[in-house]
């Protein structure tokens, strides 16, 4: 949803908003996710925003992938023929009506194909949250392995969980 908001904001006639959102999207896309996780978690308290590791991680991952998805949505919106936009102007639709009734119903199906691998990428990036203390699968496997100094079994189980989950997700994406 935030990616769609970013995509629409980049198309507004209000230039300061367009430039600000475009620069934010470029910043989020060009910096490493782990840096964004650190920034949200450690810099937030400097400004009075103290978040739990889990919330900070979800915000960082959400913003990171919203930036990428905004480009997918923007591509879908820009692929709607110019005549559709002109027709909306000709029949005096507001901007909100234009997007809601004409543009988005055409753009969103075009965007779905480009979104397929992002849920897989998000799942694969969750181990990065361990840098701020979020207990996720890899960290749990490390803790279990540390109890009896046997890391092969827990890591193998985590690998199988990732493989099964990602293979299933990938099959769903590629079957469409």
36-84 pLDDT, tens digit per residue, is: 999 999 998 899 988 998 899 999 999 999 999 999 999 999 999 999 9
Q: How far apart (Å, rounded) are the C-alpha atoms in residues 56 and 167?
A: 28
Residue 102 CB contacts under 8 Å (≥ 6 apart), including other chains: 80, 84, 87, 88, 93
Q: Give me the pLDDT at residue 26, please.
A: 95
Q: How far apart (Å, rounded) are the C-alpha atoms in residues 139 and 135?
A: 6
Which CATH code fits 2-116? 1.10.3720.10
pLDDT for 142-170, tens place per residue? 888 999 888 899 899 988 988 887 787 77
Residue 137: pLDDT band by 50, 70, 90 thresholds?
confident
Nearest to 5 by CA among 63, 81, 91, 82: 63
Q: How far apart (Å, rounded) are the C-alpha atoms in residues 109 and 96?
A: 19
Helix (H, G, I), strand (E, B) or coil at 18: helix
């Amino acid at each position: 949803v935030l990616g769609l908001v970013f995509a629409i904001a980049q198309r507004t006639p209000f230039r300061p908003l367009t430039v600000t959102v475009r620069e934010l999207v470029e910043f989020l896309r060009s910096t490493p996710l782990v840096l964004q996780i650190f920034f949200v978690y450690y810099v937030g308290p400097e400004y009075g925003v103290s978040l739990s590791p889990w919330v900070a991680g979800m915000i960082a991952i959400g913003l990171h992938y919203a930036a990428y998805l905004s480009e997918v949505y923007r591509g879908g919106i820009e692929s709607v023929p110019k005549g559709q936009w002109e027709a909306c102007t000709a029949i005096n639709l507001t901007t909100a009506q234009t997007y809601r009734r004409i543009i988005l119903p055409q753009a969103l199906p075009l965007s779905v194909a480009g979104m397929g691998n992002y849920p897989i990428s998000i799942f694969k990036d969750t181990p990065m949250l361990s840098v701020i203390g979020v207990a996720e699968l890899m960290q749990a496997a490390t803790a279990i392995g540390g109890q009896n100094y046997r890391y092969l079994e827990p890591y193998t189980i985590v690998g199988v969980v990732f493989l099964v989950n990602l293979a299933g997700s990938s099959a769903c994406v590629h079957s469409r």
